Amino acid sequence: MKGPFTIICRNHSGSRVLCEAFRQNGFWMGSCENKTRDAREISHFMPEVRKLVEAAFRYPELPPAKKERLQQKMRKLVAKVEDNCPDPESKIAYGWKRVITTFTVQIFLEAFPAGKVVHLIRDGRDVMLSRSIQKMSRLDDPFYRLVVFGDANMSEYRGRPLTTEVIEAYRNEIEMIYWTTVVGFGMKGRMYPRQYLEVLYEDLCSSPVATLSRIFEFLEVPFYPQTKAWAVENVHTTRICKWKNDEQQLKDAISLGEPLLRKLGYL
């Protein structure tokens, strides 16, 4: 098997569709027989994953010895994905999909020189309307404040304590901040152009065969006819530009994401 090849993203970015395309094309994507297609082997509930994510925020400044220790931990996690493959000879490649590993992109790419990352990015104006209920309800946990705001010590928003009421009152704004945090962190992969590819969800939906062709060419694996047929049948544009229905009401939240939206070509 080739790999490891991982899909990173902010949740609600359409990554389940991309992961299923990988599976249709003969990839082992970890133990992901679930609704979200998230690999069980690399969960944000696991202490070792949390430690990697927390360390990732200071990774560039760490000395080489500490970087190597983190890379070793990453290799151990990835080994679980590969080892769980029931029939390796039948698979052309392996990887996984997990939102939380977006934050470990640098550790992963340095731990696996032959590894590659596909970063699926969706318009933040649509993403903020797809509620991240679980993470938002856990903002009393410093870990979730870190991944949402980029700051574990964040305890207030607009000068008010991060209570459930405040979170709901400013939900769209906080969702947009979360989008900028995750997507911006994933874009650190741009420093590794041979190993990193950005794909827009909107391109995947509007031109699934062409977009998947680009992805599989980047991963250097064949693009099977049955995968093309599956993509034509199952990938649609129905969930694009939902935000336009409430553009005026969303303007404050959209303004928070404007620099990154513009950088990505959405504005």
Q: For the chain, which residues make up each domain, given as ranges?
A: 2-130+190-263
Q: Which of 30-39, 104-113, 246-255 has the lowest mean pLDDT?
A: 246-255
In tens, the pLDDT along 135-164 reads 666 788 999 999 999 999 999 999 999 988
- Across the range 61-77, mean pLDDT stands at 97
Predicted confidence (pLDDT) at residue 133 exceeds the cutoff of 60: no
CATH number at 2-130+190-263: 3.40.50.300
- Across the range 7-34, mean pLDDT stands at 96
In tens, the pLDDT along 227-243 reads 999 999 999 888 788 88
This prediction has a pTM of: 0.95
The CA distance from 21 to 8, in Å, is: 15
